[in-house]
Amino acid sequence: MEISARNQLNGKITNVDFGAVMANIKIEVTEPNVITAVITKESAEKLGLKEGDDVAAIIKSTEVILGK
């Protein structure tokens, strides 16, 4: 996949949790870390996301929150 965003982590979905409006998507990235993407339920269904799918997590620099 070619995209202009540079902040990209490839990984595998380990869990999909659908809420009424949003969906939490847990992704195990190559390093073996897990990140969680919170997207709309509609988007998750439209993409047909399910456990075991290989995906690319695109991270916008304006939306990254760090904690210590």
Q: Terminal CA-to-CA distance of the chain, rounded, Å?
A: 33
Say if residues 8 and 57 touch (Cβ distance below 8 Å).
yes
pLDDT (tens place) for every residue of the chain, 68 residues total: 666 666 777 788 899 999 999 888 888 877 667 888 888 999 999 999 999 999 888 877 665 444 33
Q: What is the pTM of this model?
A: 0.56
Tell whether domain 8-61 is in CATH 2.40.50.100.
yes
- How many residues can be counted in the chain? 68
Distance CA 5, CA 20 (A): 30
Residue 46 to residues 7, 36, 38, 50, 65, Cα–Cα distance (Å): 23, 18, 15, 11, 26
